[in-house]
Amino acid sequence: MQRLLRRSVLVLVIFLISATGQSDLAPQDTPPADATVVPLLDLAAMPESAIPVARAAVTSRSGTTMRFPFDPQPEYITSATNYWAGRDGASIEYIVIHYTDISYARTLHAFDTLASNVSAHYVIRGDGHIAQIVAEGDTAWHSGNAWYNRHSIGIEFELDHVTNPAFTTEQYYAGAALACAISGRQGIPLDREHVIGHNEVPGTTHTDPGPTWDWPHFMWLASLCAPPTDATVHASFVSESPYPEISTDDKALVSVVLRNTGSTAWRKGTDQEARLGIPDNSRALAFLADGWPAPERPAVQEEDIVPPGGTATFSFRVKGTLPGTFVVPLRGVVDGGAWMDDLGMFTVVTVR
Ligand SMILES: [Zn+2]
């Protein structure tokens, strides 16, 4: 470590990694799966404002352009040792992120060496290639904590001062796409309660993935492909326009703003698109509809992408077909996955 002090800024970064991280391959206590197809997203075509700047410089060195999300196809490289068959009845609840601190090749060798006492389910090489060492249904030895090993899937990212001195764009893409596929298979929400670093495992002395791992960037990428399910689709109420009062030959605009409090992004035109729906898909008030996408779906999100924490605007018109006062119940829904929380929303249309 000392010799690194005399080198350049780039090496200083490596020094920081070395100084703060510990190798996963120090002795610790203690195989293929179906993939989920997700729609492709062209990040290059996204507005700059929608792409957060990486905290750590993430530069592609391979020169390849990876489209994201994609369908990760791990190369299955079994380890003859260093895992327990099955999960001993434990449910899979976490994804644990690590870095290797040694090269990809040495990592695979270590995972196949009994004396190392370590393994992980997946290893992601600097160029984004994914190796699967242990099946998700089996227990890998990656977190230094038997309970967490039983309840988690471990992903190692190659980080090595020679072969891959910094996390790459390809690794972030591959890791996020892999996390999305795992989420689809195991029902793990992709939030920071369920996607944790090795350093966050209780009792650990390890500090990986360390200060150069860009959590916000990784979680944002993961949200773009996180399967919309009951576990990932959530919303809170932000605002609503005044109740419309119109005459029988008039129209009015209603707007509702919801915040995405789940862990999957709302993406217009995909299975992750957020819509404003009528609870129970009732069509009883469809006579009020003016240009709705469907009789039980008054509106879709206006924004192209609403990441977790962001707000979406839903606007729709009602028309005064007959006199009366009509209460229109409303509830957000991602039709590719799940209804949002029932927030008791409604609007009241008065037609004179
Ligand atoms: Zn680790």
Q: What percentage of residues in the chain have a pLDDT greater than 90? A: 76
Quote the ligand 1 centre to 209 CA distance (angstroms): 7
Verify that 125 and 167 share a domain, yes or no.
yes
Position 80 scores a pLDDT of 80
- Ligand 1 centroid to Cα of residue 34, in Å, is 25
Q: Is 73 inside a domain boundary?
A: yes
Query: Could you identify the residue written with the tokens 């793990």?
Result: 188
What per-residue string of b and e applies to 272-285 under the rule 16 or more CB within 10 Å gives b? bbbbbbbeeeeeeb
Distance from residue 33's CA to the centre of ligand 1 (Å): 23
- Considering the domain architecture, whether residues 113 and 180 belong to the same structural domain is answered as yes
Please determine, for residue 233, whether its predicted confidence score (pLDDT) is greater than 90. Answer: yes
Residues 234-238, mean pLDDT to the nearest whole number: 98
Model confidence band, residue 249 (pLDDT cutoffs 50, 70, 90): confident
Residues 48, 188 within the same domain: yes
Cα-to-centroid distance, 118 and ligand 1 (Å): 10
Q: Which of 91, 157, 146 is nearest to 121 (CA)?
A: 157
67 and 167 fall within a common domain: yes
**pLDDT, mean of residues 12-27:** 38
Cα(205) to centroid(ligand 1), Å: 10
Q: What are the residue ranges of helices labelled H in the chain? A: 9-20, 104-111, 146-150, 169-186, 215-225
C-alpha distances (whole Å) from 166 to each of 18, 103, 154, 172, 201 are 12, 12, 20, 11, 23
DSSP string, 56-78: S----SS-----BS-----EE--
Q: At a CB cut-off of 8 Å and minimum separation 6, what does 15 contact?
A: 1, 4, 5, 7
Give residue 203's domain range: 2-225
Report helix, strand or coil for 276: strand
Per-residue pLDDT of 266-300, as tens digits, reads: 999 999 999 999 999 999 999 999 999 999 999 99
Residue 24 backbone phi and psi in degrees, to 5: -75, -10
Q: Which residues pair with 68 in a beta bridge?
A: 41
Q: What is the CATH number of the domain that holds 37?
A: 3.40.80.10
Q: Both tokens of residue 208? A: 């990986």
Tens digit of pLDDT for each residue in 177-192? Answer: 999 999 999 999 999 9
Chain centroid to Cα 21, Å, comes to: 25
Q: Tens of pLDDT along 139-155?
A: 999 999 999 999 999 99
pLDDT at 69 over 90: no
**Residue 230, domain member (yes or no):** no
Residue 117 is which amino acid?
A: N
Return the structure tokens found at 150. Answer: 């039983």
Q: How many domains does the chain have?
A: 2
State the Cα–Cα distance between residues 223 and 79, nearest whole angstrom: 31
183 & 249 share domain: no
Q: Answer yes or no: do 210 and 254 share one domain.
A: no
Distance from the alpha carbon of residue 41 to the mean position of ligand 1, in angstroms: 30
Average pLDDT over residues 194-217: 96
Give CA–CA dist 172/177, Å, rounded: 8
Q: Which residues pair with 122 in a beta bridge?
A: 132, 155
CA of residue 286 to ligand 1 center, whole Å: 55
pLDDT one-digit tens code per residue, 156-178: 999 999 999 999 999 999 999 99
Residue 290's domain is classified under what CATH number? Answer: 2.60.40.10
The pLDDT value recorded for residue 67 is 81
Which tens digit of pLDDT belongs to each residue from 103-141? 999 999 999 999 999 999 999 999 999 999 999 999 999
Residue range 33-62, pLDDT digits in tens: 333 333 456 555 554 445 443 333 334 455
Would 104 be classed as within a structural domain? Answer: yes
Q: Average pLDDT over the chain, rounded to whole?
A: 85
Rounded to the nearest whole angstrom, what is the distance from the C-alpha of residue 163 to the centroid of ligand 1?
18
For residue range 257-272, list pLDDT tens digits in order.
999 999 999 999 999 9
Q: Inter-axis angle of helices 215-225 and 169-186, to 10 degrees? A: 50
* Better-predicted residue by pLDDT, 312 or 50: 312
**Cα 284 to middle of ligand 1, angstroms:** 56
218, 284: one domain: no
Cα(295) to centroid of ligand 1, in Å?
Answer: 51
Higher-pLDDT residue of 70 and 289 is 289
pLDDT of residue 62: 55
Q: Does 315 map to a domain?
A: yes
220 and 293 co-located in one domain: no
CA distance 35 to 221: 18
pLDDT at 12 over 80: no
Going from the Cα of 52 to the center of ligand 1, the distance in angstroms, rounded, reads 26
Give residue 44's pLDDT.
52
Q: Quick one: CA dihedral 221, 226, 230, 233, positive or negative?
A: positive
Q: Which pLDDT value is given to residue 45?
A: 56
More confident residue, 66 or 264: 264
Q: What is the pLDDT of residue 37?
A: 36
Residue 48 Cα to ligand 1 middle (Å): 33
**Residue 131: predicted pLDDT:** 96
